[in-house]
Amino acid sequence: MATRYLILSLPTGEEDAGASKYADSFWDELHRSLSGLHVPLYRLNVPKFRRTTLHVLDGVADSLTNLNAEVQDLCNTIHQYIMEIGSVSASKQKSTAVTIGGLSVDDYISMFLWDEKKYCLESPIKDLVSIINSEISNVKSDMKVKRAKYDDVQRKLRAVNRKQGVVSLKEIDFYGFLQPEDMVFSEHLVTLLVIVPITSQKEWLSTYEFLDPLVVPRSTKKIYEDQESALYTITLFAKAVPNFKDRAWKKHFQVSDFMFSPEAYERRKQGIQELVHDQEVTKASLLQWLYGSYSEVFSRWMHVVTMLVFSESRLRYGPHAGFLSVVLVPSMDNEGKIRNALEELTGGGKSYWNSADSEDAFALMGLVGQTDPYHYVSFSIKVV
């Protein structure tokens, strides 16, 4: 079940010495306005990026929007893999929830701080976008390789399982059902495998001892059956095998040419054990990588979100405007009331472009369209 987070940037007037105090006051007012709606509300810490022109911000707007969507998909895909590969049921999701640096999604968002060691704020914003885009591409490539390795082991195990029960008895791997104690091989005695039509089992049980005098009485044992046939063992003297096969064939009982080999049985058993071990090792390794990658990718996602908030706010409100960035989690029942409260608080939407009269202003005005159609910056992200 995806949780929808609403990312907002609300104008607070000109960016000057008193802008921070006004943003704090606006935050308090917003908190009071929404307090009766019981909506989770967090203040989003957007750092001061290197000053740049609106044309530069417009140049990275599409890249940021696309990168935001790409990282969201990757983050949710990683989470889906964790749930799938870890075989986590809905009842266990809470105890095995993914975290970001040890924090829940809500806690991480509410406490988010820009990682300047990784992403220097003195760098142009387009360079920061390029760095994160490259990192996300590397994660996607690594995930493809690691998932392919795990899937390869899974396919091999499924192939073994198919031979044990999904296909016809005529194609089955008998070693998947036989134990050494089911088979008798000595100087004079031998155990054969006989495929009996499902509707002829009573006839088999009543006649097999009479197909040849050298059949060992009460030696038959059913090993397996599918919808069409049943697999039985039968022990008899080795010299009677040709005659027994001929008489069994006349009664539509098919004697398999399969000959049990203890060495082949052990090789198969060891091979399956190695596959199961490989599965557990690759599963544990992949899950560890997925949990770690989810944390890293989500962190990068929030860096992208803050850059998107910044660029959209500058394009929407102007190069010198202050703004308050918040995150809230609306429900279907209260989103309309939230929007009404925001309309009242923001006073109908004064924009930088309302008063701009330059040709550049009017040209760029049409570019402020990367977010939801409100007079304040608004877009949403979905976290599975």
How many percent of the chain have pLDDT more than 90? Answer: 51
What is the spatial order of strands in the sheet that 189-197 belongs to?
221-225, 229-237, 189-197, 254-255
Q: What is the CATH number of the domain that holds 254?
A: 3.30.70.100
CA angle in degrees (0–180, nearest 5) for 337-109-26: 50
Asked, for residue 220, whether it belongs to a domain, the answer is yes
Its domain, for residue 318, covers: 3-116+303-383
pLDDT at 365: 39
| CA nearest neighbour of 140 among 287, 297, 284 | 297
If asked whether residues 10 and 110 sit together in one domain, one would say yes
Domain count of the chain?
2
Asked, for residue 286, whether it belongs to a domain, the answer is no
- On whether the CB atoms of residues 9 and 312 are closer than 8 A, the answer is yes
Asked, for residue 278, whether it belongs to a domain, the answer is no
Asked, for residue 64, whether it belongs to a domain, the answer is yes
Asked, for residue 168, whether it belongs to a domain, the answer is no
If asked whether residues 98 and 8 sit together in one domain, one would say yes
- Digit-coded pLDDT (tens) for 225-234: 888 899 999 9
Asked, for residue 95, whether it belongs to a domain, the answer is yes
If asked whether residues 236 and 308 sit together in one domain, one would say no
Which of the listed residues 205, 236, 259 is the one where a domain comes to its end?
Answer: 259
- On whether the CB atoms of residues 163 and 176 are closer than 8 A, the answer is yes
- Digit-coded pLDDT (tens) for 99-134: 999 999 999 999 999 999 999 999 999 999 999 999
**Does 252 have pLDDT greater than 90?**
yes
Worst-scoring range by mean pLDDT, 49-53, 216-220, 367-371?
A: 367-371
If asked whether residues 308 and 247 sit together in one domain, one would say no
